[in-house]
Each structure stands twice: as C-alpha cells, then as structure tokens.
C-alpha cells in the first residue's frame, strides 16, 4: 500500500523528539518487524473511518465552536461572546436544560425497568413464538421519531383509538380526553422508542447468565423475588448500567417525536426553533449544539468507564 | 473460579434472606405465585402498546372516516392512491415514489460508504490490540454526534453542500456507521480470527488477500445484516435531513413528515404504512441472516 512512498529516511538511533517521531512515521510507512506491520495494518484499516469522522464530524464541530463566537449570524467574523451570554443569562435556556435532563432521566429509568422485565421473560420463560416477540419488540427501533409521534396520536390523539374508546364508555368529550399532546403523551412517545433499545441491550446480558446458581437458590428455598434480587440482578447489573447509559443518550437526542408532540421545550426542539422560526439564529444554535455535544460526549465517556466493552450494544 | 465462589455467596445470601423472612414478612413475599404472571403481564401490555398502533394504522389506511371509536368505510383505497401519487390529495404535493426512490439511492450510497469504513475498523478492533483501542472503540460504536447537532454543524461548515446529495450521504454514513461496525464485530467475534489469519498466511496468501478472500467472506452474514440495518435507518432518517435539507428532491422522511403534520389522519396512516411494509420486509430478510429482529446482537 503505502510502502513505495516510504523513502525510509528515518534515522535509526536518535530516540529523542523529532527523531522518535520520524522513526514512528518510518515504521508506519515501511515496517520492518511484524509488530510494525501490524501497527500499519491497524492504521490503514482505521483510515477510512478517520477520513469520514474528520470531514463529517470533527471539522464541522470545530466550525460550530467558531460560529458560536462570531459577531455575524451568516459569516464567521470577529469575536463576540453574545451567544454564550444569551445562553448563560436568559432563564429560558436554564428551563430547557432542566426539562431535557429530568425528562430523559425519568423516561430512561422507566424504560430500563420495563426492559429488565421483558428480557427476563424472553430469557427465562418458555414463551411461544419467541423469535416473533423479539422481532416485534425490535420493530420500533427502525421507526423515525416522527412516526413514533404519529403512533401516539393514533392511540391518544383526538381521533385516537383509546381516546374514542374512553369517550364511548364514559360519555366524555373526545377533545377533553385526548392526551397525545400532553407531557404524558410525550412520555409514552419516548417510552415507545426507548423500551425496544434498552431491551435489545439487556437481552444479550440475560442470555449469558449462569442459570445453575438461580436453580440452586430456588431449590434451597429462596423465593423467586429474593433469587432475582440476590442472584440474577448482580449478574446482569453491568448490562443494566450499559442499557441506562445508552438509553439516556438516545433520550437526549430524540427530536422527531417532540416535533410532532411539542408538549415540553427540550434542547433539540429549541435548536430547531432557533434556526427555523426565530430567524436564522445560528450563533445561539451553535452554542447550544456545542454544549449539548460536550455533555453527551462527557456523559458517554464517564458512563463507559462503568461498563465493559462487551455490554456496549445498540 | 472466583465468579463461581461469588455466585455461591449470592445463592447463600438469597437463601439466608429467605430464612430471615420466615417470620412475619414471609407471607408478604408472594412472588412464587404472582411473580411470573406479573412479568408476563408487563410483556403483554408492552407488546400491545408497541404493536397496537402499528396494526391500527395499517388497517385505518384502508378506511374512509375515523369519527367513531374505530375507522369505518372499508375497503377504501383512496388514501393509498393519494400516497402513491395516483390521485390528488390535500396538503401534500406529490406521491411517495420520487422521495422513496431518492432516499433509497442516498441510503444505498451511505451503505456502500459504511462497508468501506465499517468492515476494516470492525476487524482491527476485534483482532488487534493497540494504543487507545478502547477510546476508538467507544467513538466508533456510539453515535457521538446527535443528528440535530450534526445538522447545525453541517449548515455552517458546508453552506453550499450541507443539504445536497453529497452532504446527506456523508451525514447518513456517519450517523449510521455504529450499526454496521457493531453488527460486523458481533459476527467476527464468533470466529477464531488469529487462527484463520495465520493458516491463510502460512499457506502463502498475502495479508491483503487473506483479509479480502478469507476474512470478509466469513463475516458475510454480519456485513449483510449491517447493510440492511444501516440502509433502512438511513432511508427514513429524519432529524438530520429535516434540518439540513433546503433544495433538490425531497427525501422520503420529509414526505412522511408532511403527511403526518399536514394531511388528514387516514392519509398520514397510509403514508406511514408504506414504511411499515418496508420494515416488515427488512425484518423477514434479517431473520434469514440469523438476526431475530432489528438488532445488532447475534442470535444465540
């Protein structure tokens, strides 16, 4: 591959500063030992990913940082902290941050709890049509957020199935009974997206646990609840943490659902508002996007320290 | 060994906790009788919650009105005719065909990029140990930038091309690459890569040839599954598309959004049903590659 372009100019012995760096480059371009060849293979095979990541993510994110400091909304000019000042001082942004965090935490916790029950049933019980149940639980992962929003409208909107059923039995007004556009409706919309993702992460963990210990505990007289708490839960705990970290990230990034069901002012909705409706407010949107990115990035790397790489699944 | 002693301790503590409760509290632990039914009930309610709106939407798309509890006036194909572009419909410009064709093309291009990007890095992450491997692994398998933030960054970095065909392809490839990498990793993990690689090398194959003619064919099912998953997700990608798209053909997800937000509910139902049919077909194909559903985890 890159062998011909090497030139092999690296000096052998000077292991200081520039010399060491040159030697490393030399080893990468024209490797002599098997270890050096292996290092070159890793570099070559990671190269396409880095090209995509640099042009697709790192450079645009750098531009995002620059834009948040621009004096002009349309060009990168001068230096101004106005956007950051707006973000720090206007109370609406504090409210958005709070809304985003508490709503993501509550929906994630709920979804992971349901997912634990689902994966427990899928792994332990003798269920008919098990593969089809897995297929059905995984179905919503393929749906974009706007379609999820539509699903909640179909259930709970003014013409929704459940709204009409309740109106029929209680004689109430359909318009009063519709809950799709309330925070409760949005909660179900988030759960619709998050439960399948959390379940798919946990399913793998539940299938790897050792059933002998559970059977022993049951045979020795512990109840199913105590067995779950003392034997099963410690074994699946890494998976539960992984599911929480990954689901929380997904919850933070939800946009389509909240665009269709705008019951709560969360960060993604506000970024859209800054750009589409409040004028082309790119500096503030950039600053928000940057805070958002840094938070998710930091959360991910802090979260990943708690779990092993094996549990990372989506 | 240590995990076995740990499990013995867990069993002991469960049994011990059971003994201590044998007093008054024991009668409150009814999990032996209600535990399983309750968990099954959670499963049943969740499945109903996830699947009921899907089936109702599919059925309603063939109805005429939905003013009572259930849609009525079956079988009416008018909504489908509108969605397929065979008839004029309220609130929506044209049918699904152009948008779906355009998005299918974008998704296919993104998928090809993901093969080139995802397969090699998945292999090097499974096969080799190297500096900062864990960090690279985390970066590669977790979607680091949310679609909305990536869109704002694209608008700034590439004001001309951000919403163009090229911009959408790059965005889709980046946003969906984790699914390809994880699926390929999952299928590579079941192979003894070092042995396969060393046998091929000792028989005289070059490393490049070993990778292309031995490793890649063995990982075929994972690559195919990764292609299907990334393709489907990109074909209906909304968050990024909605923010960056400005001119040119209208992608499928924006057609869906228009039908959901501006058209009568039954017409929206027909539009969404188009996508349900695609996902159902995709899941059926995925099952032939060994995946139970829309997930990167290999079937056990």
Residue B80 lies in a domain: no
Whether residue A110 has pLDDT greater than 90: yes
Residue A14 Cα, gap to closest chain B Cα (Å): 22
Residue A6's alpha-carbon distances to A103, A267, B29, in angstroms, are: 55, 49, 72
Q: What is the pLDDT of residue B91?
A: 62
Whether residue A94 has pLDDT greater than 80: yes
CA distance A84 to A283: 9
Does the A87-311 domain belong in CATH 1.10.3720.10? yes
Q: What is the pLDDT of residue B205?
A: 84
The DSSP code for A232 is I
Whether residue A63 has pLDDT greater than 90: no
Q: Are residues B31 and B128 in the same domain?
A: no
Whether residue A182 has pLDDT greater than 90: no
Nearest to B99, CA basis, from B279, B265, B245: B245
Give the number of other Cβ atoms within 10 Å of residue A146's Cβ.
26
Nearest to B270, CA basis, from B71, B51, B63: B63
Whether residue A13 has pLDDT greater than 60: no
Q: Are residues B113 and B213 in the same domain?
A: yes
Q: Are residues B42 and B159 in the same domain?
A: no
Whether residue A143 has pLDDT greater than 90: yes
Instruction: Please report residues of B whose CB lies closer than 8 A to that of A57.
Output: 144-145, 150, 153, 174
Residue A25 Cα, gap to closest chain B Cα (Å): 15
Residue A253 Cα, gap to closest chain B Cα (Å): 6
Residue B79 lies in a domain: no
Q: Are residues B28 and B160 in the same domain?
A: no
Residue B81 lies in a domain: no
CA distance B253 to B147: 14
At residue B72, φ and ψ (nearest 5 deg) are -130, 175
Q: Are residues B137 and B243 in the same domain?
A: yes
Residue B243 Cα, gap to closest chain A Cα (Å): 7
Whether residue A42 has pLDDT greater than 50: yes
For residues B250 and A311, the model is more confident at B250
Q: What is the pLDDT of residue B117?
A: 93
For chain B, the domain total comes to 2
Query: Three-state SS for B224?
Result: helix
Whether residue A114 has pLDDT greater than 50: yes
CA distance B161 to A55: 13
Domain span holding position B37: 2-52
Instruction: Please report residues of A whose CB lies closer than 8 A to that of B170.
Output: 52, 55-56
Tell me, rounded to whole angstroms, the distance of Cα A100 from its chain centroid.
Answer: 14
Nearest to B127, CA basis, from B218, B27, B21, B261: B218
Strand partners, B65: B72
Over residues A265-293, mean pLDDT: 84
Residue B74 lies in a domain: no
Q: Do A282 and B121 touch (CB under 8 A)?
A: no
Residue B83 lies in a domain: no
Say which range, A89-98, A263-272, B18-27, has the weakest mean pLDDT.
Answer: B18-27
Tokens 């508490």, residue? A102
Whether residue A117 has pLDDT greater than 90: yes
Whether residue A4 has pLDDT greater than 50: no
Whether residue A1 has pLDDT greater than 50: no
Q: Is A45 on the interface with B (CB under 8 A)?
A: yes
Whether residue B1 has pLDDT greater than 50: no
Residue A64: which of B31, B40, B156 has the nearest Cβ?
A: B156
Over residues A197-213, mean pLDDT: 85
Average pLDDT of chain A, as a whole number: 84
Q: Is A83 on the interface with B (CB under 8 A)?
A: no
At residue B75, φ and ψ (nearest 5 deg) are -100, 125
ipTM over the 0.85 cut-off: yes
Q: Do B130 and A227 touch (CB under 8 A)?
A: no
Query: Three-state SS for A21?
Result: helix
Per-residue pLDDT reduced to its tens digit, B129-162: 888 888 888 888 877 788 888 888 888 788 777 6
Give the number of other Cβ atoms within 10 Å of residue A28's Cβ.
17
pLDDT band at residue A151 using 50, 70 and 90 as cut-offs: very high
Per-residue pLDDT reduced to its tens digit, B247-276: 788 899 998 998 888 888 888 888 899 999
A283 is written with which tokens?
Answer: 């500096």
Q: What is the pLDDT of residue B245?
A: 87
Q: What is the pLDDT of residue A109?
A: 96
Per-residue pLDDT reduced to its tens digit, B71-126: 877 888 888 888 888 877 666 667 788 889 999 999 999 999 999 999 999 999 88
For residues B237 and A18, the model is more confident at B237
The DSSP code for B299 is P
CA distance B115 to B58: 34
For residues B246 and B250, the model is more confident at B250
CA angle B46, B48, B51 (to 5 degrees): 105
pLDDT band at residue A56 using 50, 70 and 90 as cut-offs: confident
Q: What is the pLDDT of residue A299?
A: 86
H-type alpha helices, B21-132: 31-60, 78-83, 96-127
HSE, CB side, 13 Å, CA atoms: give it for residue B233. 30
CA angle A279, A282, A287 (to 5 degrees): 130
Q: Do B157 and A59 touch (CB under 8 A)?
A: yes
The domain that holds B262 is classified in CATH as: 1.10.3720.10
Q: Is A296 on the interface with B (CB under 8 A)?
A: yes
Q: Classify burial at B249, counting beta carbons within 10 Å of its beta carbon; exposed 0-12, middle 13-18, buried 19 or more.
A: middle
Nearest to A224, CA basis, from B17, B77, B289, B223: B17
B168 is written with which tokens?
Answer: 């959408």
pLDDT band at residue B31 using 50, 70 and 90 as cut-offs: confident
Whether residue A9 has pLDDT greater than 60: no
pLDDT band at residue A5 using 50, 70 and 90 as cut-offs: very low
User: Closest residue of B to A293, CA-based?
Assistant: B145
Q: Are residues B105 and B41 in the same domain?
A: no
Say which range, B26-30, B55-59, B79-83, has the weakest mean pLDDT.
Answer: B26-30
Q: Is A227 on the interface with B (CB under 8 A)?
A: yes
Instruction: Please report residues of A whose CB lies closer than 8 A to that of B149.
Output: 64, 271, 289-290, 292-293
CA distance A4 to A27: 13
Is-contact A121 B46, C-beta < 8 A? Answer: no
CA distance B172 to B109: 9
pTM of the model: 0.87
* Omega within 30 of 0 (cis) for the link into B75: yes
Tell me, rounded to whole angstroms, the distance of Cα A250 from its chain centroid.
Answer: 3
- Percent of all residues in chain B with a pLDDT value above 70, rounded to a whole number: 93
pLDDT band at residue A3 using 50, 70 and 90 as cut-offs: very low
Q: Are residues B120 and B227 in the same domain?
A: yes
Residue ranges of A 22-41 with Cβ closer than 8 A to chain B: 37-39, 41
pLDDT band at residue A194 using 50, 70 and 90 as cut-offs: very high
Over residues A162-187, mean pLDDT: 83
Q: Are residues B26 and B167 in the same domain?
A: no
At residue B206, φ and ψ (nearest 5 deg) are -70, 165
pLDDT band at residue A15 using 50, 70 and 90 as cut-offs: low
Residue partners of A146: CB distance under 8 A and separation at least 6: A256, A257, A259, A260, B238, B253, B256, B257, B260, B261
Residue B15 lies in a domain: yes
B135 is written with which tokens?
Answer: 């960090």
**Domain parsing of chain A, residue ranges:** 3-51, 87-311
Q: Do B144 and A45 touch (CB under 8 A)?
A: no
Helix or strand run (H / E) with residue A93: helix A91-124
Residue partners of A263: CB distance under 8 A and separation at least 6: A181, A182, A183, A185, A186
Over residues A285-289, mean pLDDT: 87
Whether residue B10 has pLDDT greater than 90: no
pLDDT band at residue B293 using 50, 70 and 90 as cut-offs: confident
Q: What is the pLDDT of residue B298?
A: 60
Q: What is the pLDDT of residue B3?
A: 65
Over residues A156-163, mean pLDDT: 83
Whether residue B300 has pLDDT greater than 50: no
């Amino acid at each position: 591959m890159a062998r011909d372009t090497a030139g092999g100019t690296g000096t052998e012995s000077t292991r200081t500063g520039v010399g060491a760096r040159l030697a490393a480059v030399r080893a990468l371009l024209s490797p002599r030992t098997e270890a050096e060849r292996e290092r070159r293979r890793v570099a070559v095979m990671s190269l396409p990913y880095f090209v995509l990541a640099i042009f697709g993510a790192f450079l645009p994110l750098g531009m995002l940082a620059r834009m948040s400091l621009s004096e002009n909304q349309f060009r990168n000019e001068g230096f101004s902290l106005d956007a950051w000042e707006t973000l720090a001082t206007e109370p609406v942004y504090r409210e958005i941050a709070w809304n985003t965090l508490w709503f993501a935490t509550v929906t994630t916790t709920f979804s992971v709890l349901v997912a634990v029950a689902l994966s427990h049933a899928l792994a332990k019980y003798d269920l008919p049509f098990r593969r089809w149940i897995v297929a059905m639980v995984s179905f919503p992962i393929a749906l974009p957020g706007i379609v999820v929003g539509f699903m909640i409208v179909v259930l709970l909107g003014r013409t929704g199935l459940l709204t009409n059923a309740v109106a029929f039995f209680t004689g109430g007004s359909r318009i009063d009974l519709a809950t799709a556009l309330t925070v409760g409706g949005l909660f179900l919309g988030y759960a619709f997206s998050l439960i399948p993702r959390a379940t798919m992460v946990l399913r793998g963990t539940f299938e790897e646990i050792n059933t002998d210990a559970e059977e022993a505990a049951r045979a020795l007289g512990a109840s199913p609840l105590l067995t779950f708490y003392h034997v099963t839960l410690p074994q699946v705990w890494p998976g539960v943490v992984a599911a929480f970290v990954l689901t929380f990230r997904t919850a933070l990034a939800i946009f389509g659902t909240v665009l269709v069901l705008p019951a709560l002012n969360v960060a993604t909705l506000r970024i859209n508002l800054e750009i589409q409706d409040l004028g082309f407010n790119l500096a503030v949107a950039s600053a928000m996007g940057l805070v958002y990115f840094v938070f998710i990035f930091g959360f991910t790397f802090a979260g990943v320290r708690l779990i092993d790489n094996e549990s990372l699944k989506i | 060994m240590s995990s076995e002693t740990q499990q013995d301790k867990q069993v002991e503590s469960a049994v011990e906790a059971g003994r201590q409760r044998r007093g008054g509290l024991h009668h409150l632990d009814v999990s032996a009788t209600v535990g399983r039914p309750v968990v099954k009930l959670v499963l049943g309610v969740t499945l109903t919650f996830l699947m009921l709106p899907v089936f109702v939407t599919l059925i309603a798309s063939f109805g005429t009105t939905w003013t009572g509890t259930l849609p009525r006036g079956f079988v009416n194909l008018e909504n489908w005719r509108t969605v397929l572009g065979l008839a004029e419909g309220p609130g929506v410009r044209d049918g699904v065909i152009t948008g779906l064709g355009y998005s299918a093309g974008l998704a296919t291009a993104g998928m090809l990029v993901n093969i080139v990007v995802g397969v090699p890095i998945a292999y090097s992450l499974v096969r080799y140990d190297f500096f900062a491997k864990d960090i690279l692994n985390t970066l590669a398998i977790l979607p680091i930038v949310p679609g909305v933030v990536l869109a704002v960054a694209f608008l700034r970095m590439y004001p001309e091309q951000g919403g163009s065909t090229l911009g959408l392809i790059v965005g889709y490839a980046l946003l969906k690459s984790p699914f390809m990498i994880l699926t390929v990793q999952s299928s590579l993990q079941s192979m003894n890569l070092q042995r396969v690689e060393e046998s091929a090398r000792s028989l005289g194959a070059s490393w490049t040839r070993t990778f292309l003619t031995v490793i890649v064919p063995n990982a075929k099912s994972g690559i195919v599954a990764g292609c299907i998953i990334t393709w489907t997700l990109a074909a209906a990608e909304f968050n990024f598309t909605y923010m960056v798209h400005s001119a040119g053909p209208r992608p499928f997800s924006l057609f869906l959004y228009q039908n959901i937000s501006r058209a009568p509910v039954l017409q929206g139902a027909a539009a969404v049903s188009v996508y349900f049919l695609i996902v159902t077909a995709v899941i059926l194909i995925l099952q032939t590659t060994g995946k139970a559903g829309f997930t990167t985890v290999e079937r056990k």
